Amino acid sequence: MTIENLSRNKSFGGWNKQYSHHSTSLNCQMRFAIYLPPQTLTGAKVPVLYWLSGLTCSDENFMQKANAQRIAAELGIAIVAPDTSPRGDDVADEDSYDLGKGAGFYVNATQEPWKSHYQMYDYVVSELPALIEKTFPVTSQRAISGHSMGGHGALTIAMRNPERYSSVSAFSPINNPMNCPWGEKAFSAYLGKDKETWRQHDASELMKSATQLLPALVDQGEADDFLATQLKPEALIAASQVSGYPLQLRHHEGYDHSYYFIASFIEEHLRFHNEYLKAM
């Protein structure tokens, strides 16, 4: 597979790079960003944290706003940030921020006109890691994290594939998409009317029945405008109590849904993941 380097910036002794490649899962040209810490410049292979961004975002938001590179450089962790949806002139879209381009929801769409491109679950779980591990000096050790829609993606992907990840974390995730406006709209379009199929992409439903338990850290700002109507952290807490899932869910007074919140606590998330990556 051919990949094209679009940009490169030195950062904390390592390199922040952006690439383009053709995705077979998504049937379009895709972009991702990767941070390679300084340890890779001397021949070392390092583990990878996959970061999934939220609605309206791309591969650039986290890399430019979260200030994660400093700690990743210290710990020796690569960071990979894919785009949030397929892109291109022939990719289905809707004139709405919460459906279509920029709003892939990390599912495999089964409905028209979405299914020919919107296979974000397969892209994140299989295609992208295979490309990263073939191309860059990284190991097969993986952790996964994300924000909002990406927090939903990180939690659901980790719980459906616990053998692939050492740990999972999220900022302000959509915890119960089956029962919130964002999730109901996206799932109806991408997955159809059968709500039983929705359960495989709902973190709270998956956590209730989980048997392989990954360490999980979730941070939620109490001044988040979407807290009550869209995010529903109480559903995730209730689910963890059913299965005994090792969930840390922390509330933070005064913090909102923005990258100011993420930047404030990303160091703690990277150190959390590092503990479990080292244990693998």
> In which residue are the tokens 């397929």 written?
86
At 92, is the secondary structure helix, strand, or coil? Answer: coil
- Which of 147, 152, 257, 269 is labelled catalytic? 257
- Rounded-to-integer distance, Cα 150 and Cα 67, Å: 18
- Annotated active-site residue 219? The verdict is no
Q: Which of 117, 169, 224, 269 is catalytic?
A: 224
Q: Look at strands 216-221 and 168-171 and give their pairing.
A: parallel
Give 167's contacts (C-beta < 8 A, 6+ positions apart). Answer: 143, 158, 214, 215, 216, 217, 272, 273, 275, 276, 277
Catalytic residue among 145, 148, 167, 169: 148
Largest CA distance in the chain: 52
| DSSP bridge partners of 51 | 145
Q: What SS3 state is found at 262?
A: helix
258 as an active site residue: the answer is no
Query: Any bridge partners for residue 216, and if so which?
Result: 168, 247
Angle 121-136-108 (CA atoms, 0-180°, nearest 5)?
A: 5
Beta strand 78-82 pairing with 138-147: unpaired
252 is annotated as an active-site residue: no
Surface-to-core class of residue 273, CB atoms within 10 Å of its CB (0-12 exposed, 13-18 middle, 19+ buried): buried
Residue tagged 């990767």 (tokens): 34
Dump the DSSP string for 38-91.
GGGGGT--EEEEEEE--TT--THHHHHHS--HHHHHHHT-EEEEE-SS--STTS
Catalytic positions, please?
148, 224, 257
